[in-house]
Amino acid sequence: MAANELANQVILATASYDHTIKLWQAHSGICQRTLKHPESQVNAMEITPDRQLLAAAGYQHIRMYDLKSSSEDPVINYDGVTKNVTALGFQEDGKWMFTGGEDCTAKIWDLRSCNLHVSRIFQVSTPVNCACLHPNQAELFVGDQSGVIHIWDVKTEHNEQLIPEPDASIQSIAIDPEGTYMAAVNNKGKAYVWRLSGGTGQAPTTLTPARSILAHNNYALKVKFSPDSTMMVTTSADHTARIWKTADFSQMTELSDSSQRWVWDVAFSADSQHVITGSSDNTARLWSVETGEIKREYTGHQKTISAIAFRDVLYQC
């Protein structure tokens, strides 16, 4: 497939505890390919900025799959990491990848060399659950199990700490595409939101508390902002995903279904009109943001869907 064809292709991938990754035809719900991931569950997935590769983070490894190939097997293997890799993402030009893991580190991987190597390590005191790169491509926000959010400037090595709620594990962090808000959710169901300023040139980002929300009555698992920055979605062990308006952080829509279980991951469509969720009932769902209606179900996994990767245009958060 030519690169320009791939750039226009909708890419929807789901990963499961059944040790497979499935690539779907998003509009029809038909599974197009099944990839092998036999060593462990997938904790996090991301599509490279050039849309050529799919990266999957698991236990003691990261695998990359060629989205153009018909092969079921990975084309690149990052071994040698210890424990679970829980988070990963890419610098916007694809020069480096960041990861976070249960080995209490965040790492920067140089992707420009043939032998994939770690160029920088940020050590924290407890396992890392999540990591999010600021749109300025310089500051990495790292959330750990003790409740600390670390703000690591990967260029200057300067770092600061933020503790929204002591002893409440940070499960997920997100920054909206405009760099206006940062949100974090924890294992007590709380969502914390900050307004961001600065973060350009030599000035570090300044965070001002904006809102705290009891978003769910159980573990909160994931938070994401919509590409147009007008909405935030949170997911939970309470079997729901909830959409919030960033204008005042009031609840807009609840995404629930009688067969849905823990909602592990979520992604917005590029037009901010739909979200896709992955749940412990082995099913991914496409929902209308406005009505909360299920538009499509993606069935075929035999166990919990633990991670989603979705791109439907060249730019997708």
Domains in the chain with CATH codes: 1-123 (2.130.10.10)
Measured between alpha carbons, how far is residue 17 from residues 31, 43, 234, 306 in Å? 17, 9, 22, 7
Residue among 78, 179, 81, 174 at smallest CA distance from 131: 174
302: Cβ contacts below 8 Å, ≥ 6 apart: 16, 18, 282
**223: which strand partners?**
234
Q: Is 3 helix (H, G, I), strand (E, B) or coil?
A: helix
pLDDT tens, 14-62? 999 999 999 999 999 999 999 999 989 999 999 999 999 999 999 999 9
Q: Are residues 251 and 206 in contact, defined by beta-carbon separation less than 8 angstroms?
A: no
Per-residue pLDDT for the chain (317 aa), expressed as one digit of tens each?
Answer: 444 444 457 999 999 999 999 999 999 999 999 999 998 999 999 999 999 999 999 999 999 999 999 999 999 888 778 999 999 999 999 999 999 999 999 999 999 876 678 999 999 999 999 999 999 999 999 999 999 999 999 989 999 999 999 999 999 999 999 999 999 999 999 999 999 998 777 778 899 999 999 999 999 999 999 999 999 999 999 999 999 999 999 999 999 999 999 999 999 999 999 999 999 999 999 999 999 999 999 999 999 999 999 998 743 33
pLDDT tens, 115-158? 678 999 999 999 999 999 999 999 999 999 999 999 999 989 99
Q: Which pLDDT score is estimated for 115?
A: 67
Residue among 279, 284, 283, 274 at smallest CA distance from 313: 274
Give the whole-angstrom CA distance, residue 235 versus residue 220. 6
pTM of the entire structure?
0.94
Q: Which pLDDT score is estimated for 266?
A: 98
Give the whole-angstrom CA distance, residue 187 versus residue 167. 10
Rg (the chain; Cα; Å): 18
274: Cβ contacts below 8 Å, ≥ 6 apart: 268, 286, 287, 288, 289, 295
